[in-house]
Structure 1
Amino acid sequence: MDKLDHGIISLLRQNARAGYGDIGAVIGLSASAVKRRVDRLVADKVIRGFTIQVDPSVDGYATEAYVELFCRGTVAPAELRRMLSDVPEVVDASTVSGSADAIVHIRSRDITSLEAALERVRNAPNVDHTRSSIVLSRLIHRSRD
């Protein structure tokens, strides 16, 4: 990948619907040259897909929390993934360093459904306890997928 490829990716991150001509005008290539590069980036699996991002509140998922998950003993990441996959409100989860075993991002319709999702997480095998923080306002959100 060169500087032009990085420029194309940067512009597509801002607007996946940008036209090849519009992208080319910014980075100094013709529309057909941009298309060839995008096709190559897709074929090489550098670009894995094109998507839209919808505000979760549109679908009624305006309540969110970050949950620290503490397990009894050692639990493999694959096991954590399996048990958290059973809770549809879990939108993101990662193992972490520090005292918690994982950080879980939950989105729900309201506090009642958030509490129910937290209860399902807490009742999973090997979960000792959780510590939750409910999001009050989102300050910065950057997607770097």
Structure 2
Amino acid sequence: MDDIDLKIIGLLALDAKRSLADIGGSVGLAPSSVNERIRRLTASGAIRRFTLDLDPAAMGMQTLVFVWIALREDADETAFREYAANHPLILECHHVTGAWAYLVKLRVSAPPEIEGFLADLKEHRFLGRSETVIALSSPVPGSFTPKDM
């Protein structure tokens, strides 16, 4: 990966719908050369996907929630990871150090959905204990792309 590849990635990160001609003009390459570089970056795994960045409130998912999770001692951790990867409310799941095993990031339409999520974790026999934090605002918002779209 060279400086031109990094510039292309930076431009796509700002606007993935940017035209090849526009990118080429910014980096000094023909559109066909830009297209070939993007194809190569995608094939190598440097670019994993192109996504939408949606407004959570417009999608009815305005509540951002973080849940610290400690698994039950008898929980199947592999099954939990698969559950997390496929759960429609879970945007991110991180295995962490410290008193908790996982930090999960959710988007829900309203706080009562959090209870349903926690009940589902209990029903699957994953949840040992948890702590839930609701974000009041996000001065530096992340992207939002639901899994079930």
Q: Deviations over 1:42-87 (max 9, x none)?
A: 2333323322111122221111210100123375642321343574
For the 8 Å contact 2:66–2:133, the answer to whether it is kept is yes
- 1:44 — aligned with what? 44
- 2:33 — aligned with what? 33
For the 8 Å contact 1:77–1:95, the answer to whether it is kept is no
> Residues 85 and 46 of structure 1: is their aligned pair in 2 closer, same or farther, counting only changes over 3 Å?
closer
RMSD: 2.2
- 2:147 — aligned with what? none
Structure 2-normalised TM-score?
0.82
Select between 36-45 and 5-14 the one with higher mean Cα deviation: 36-45
What 5-or-longer segments of structure 2 have no aligned partner? 144-149
Q: Aligned AA for 2:92? A: D
Structure 2 Cα separation of the partners of residues 74 and 99 of structure 1? 17
For the 8 Å contact 2:80–2:126, the answer to whether it is kept is no
Q: Aligned AA for 2:71? A: C
> Residues 60 and 36 of structure 1: is their aligned pair in 2 closer, same or farther, counting only changes over 3 Å?
same
Structure 1 Cα separation of the partners of residues 37 and 78 of structure 2? 36
Structure 2 Cα separation of the partners of residues 51 and 90 of structure 1? 17
* 1:103 and 2:108 correspond: no
Considering Cα pairs closer than 8 Å and 6+ residues apart, tell me whether 1 or 2 has the greater RCO: 2
Structure 2 Cα separation of the partners of residues 122 and 43 of structure 1? 40
Structure 1-normalised TM-score?
0.84
C-alpha deviation, 1:138, in angstroms: 1.0
Structure 1 Cα separation of the partners of residues 96 and 76 of structure 2? 12
Aligned length: 143
For the 8 Å contact 2:61–2:108, the answer to whether it is kept is yes
> Residues 44 and 83 of structure 1: is their aligned pair in 2 closer, same or farther, counting only changes over 3 Å?
closer
C-alpha deviation, 1:110, in angstroms: 0.7
> Residues 37 and 84 of structure 1: is their aligned pair in 2 closer, same or farther, counting only changes over 3 Å?
closer
Q: Deviations over 1:78-102 (max 9, x none)?
A: 2321343574322221110111000
What 5-or-longer segments of structure 1 have no aligned partner? none
> Residues 9 and 77 of structure 1: is their aligned pair in 2 closer, same or farther, counting only changes over 3 Å?
farther
- 1:62 — aligned with what? 62
C-alpha deviation, 1:124, in angstroms: 3.5
